[in-house]
Amino acid sequence: MSALILCGKTVSKNVKNNLKSEIAILKAKGIVPSLAVVLVGDNPASHVYVRNKQKAAEELGIYSVTMQYDASMSQDVLNRLIDELNADEHFHGILVQLPLPKHLNENEVIQRISPDKDVDGFHPVSVGKLVLGQDTFVSCTPAGVMEILKFYNIDPSGKNVVIIGRSNIVGKPMLNLLYQKATYANATVTICHTRTKDIAAHTKQADIVIVAAGRPHTLTADMVKEGVVVIDVGINRIEDPTTEKGYSLVGDADYEGLLSKVSAITPVPGGVGPMTIAMLMKNTVISAGRILSK
């Protein structure tokens, strides 16, 4: 079977192109969509993510400010900063890059951000609305997976979907999107995790497998049926002396091994990865647009 490669670069470009006209309309009405990104400490991966977010915002004409703080920043100072950003009408979205240094309480930070500016979709109010099927900001990576499915006309309705991974950022919102009574949803969803006894017994029944486990080779060809759709959310660095950098990026699925068995699969890199930032831009534009309906 020749597999359809689900290209996140193409889908993210499409999302961003659609945003351009919405941004132009907002600007004509005097509204410049604006995002505040807070980065605490010197986690190298976080610095890369934040740089990419800044670049994407600049390309689209979204005003984005990255506020960088030393790893020693106190919870009090961070809380006060969030309070100021909540009250600052210039900003429509606030994103505090995770993970935070260990002494800072991530839950406290997430809950302090106003749900009206929660473009990450992490606030309990956003999560609760998602569960209830109400309009809300949706966590960007799962929202990006839904865009990929729609773009390639892969309708999960009536299908068995297995998600591997139960994180707050991917697994849980992914589950809550897919079972909803809504277009491109209505799936029967199973969530597998580190305590699942026999993950393969579940994935073998799946029409679509979404793997977000944070571990290379979590999903292999012997674990799926012929014609399955595989969405790989993982990005792992593995040592690779054949490359200049000494490492290469792989997903959570054994891409090469699965290729001859799947009907469609996302590559890593270039699959789900580019979608996260595109959806963050989309959430920021949606937040700015809400001012008009207030």
Catalytic residues: 53, 97, 120
The Cα–Cα gap between 166 and 221 comes to 22
Least separation in angstroms between residue 208's CB and ligand GUN is 22
Q: Which DSSP symbol is given to 258?
A: H
Q: Which stretch binds ligand GUN (CB under 6 A): 13-21, 90-98, 195-203, 248-256?
A: 90-98
CB-nearer residue toward ligand GUN: 98 or 131: 98
| Kind of pairing between the strands at 236-239 and 247-250 | antiparallel
The residue number with the shortest CB distance to ligand GUN is 98
276 binds ligand GUN (CB under 6 A): yes
CB-nearer residue toward ligand GUN: 1 or 45: 45
Q: Which stretch binds ligand GUN (CB under 6 A): 3-11, 93-101, 208-216, 235-243?
A: 93-101
CB-nearer residue toward ligand GUN: 123 or 261: 123
259 binds ligand GUN (CB under 6 A): no
Q: How far is CA 138 from CA 168, 178, 192, in A?
A: 12, 12, 21
140 binds ligand GUN (CB under 6 A): yes
219 binds ligand GUN (CB under 6 A): no
Among 19, 39, 95, 100, binds ligand GUN (CB under 6 A): 95
- Give the contacts of 147 (CB within 8 A, at least 6 positions apart): 11, 15, 275, 278, 279
273-289 vs 44-60: helix axis angle to the nearest 10? 50
CB-nearer residue toward ligand GUN: 39 or 199: 39
Among 118, 120, 252, 254, binds ligand GUN (CB under 6 A): 120
235 binds ligand GUN (CB under 6 A): no
97 binds ligand GUN (CB under 6 A): yes
CB-nearer residue toward ligand GUN: 96 or 285: 96
The 10 Å Cβ neighbour count of residue 55 is: 12
Residue pair 230/219 in contact by the 8 Å Cβ criterion: yes
DSSP letters of 21-48? HHHHHHHHTT---EEEEEEES--HHHHH
Residue pair 283/137 in contact by the 8 Å Cβ criterion: yes
Among 3, 5, 98, 200, binds ligand GUN (CB under 6 A): 98
Least separation in angstroms between residue 113's CB and ligand GUN is 10
291 binds ligand GUN (CB under 6 A): no
Helices (H), the chain: 8-28, 44-60, 75-87, 106-112, 124-131, 140-151, 171-178, 199-203, 255-258, 273-289
Which residues would be at the binding site for ligand GUN (CB under 6 A)?
49, 95-98, 120, 140, 276
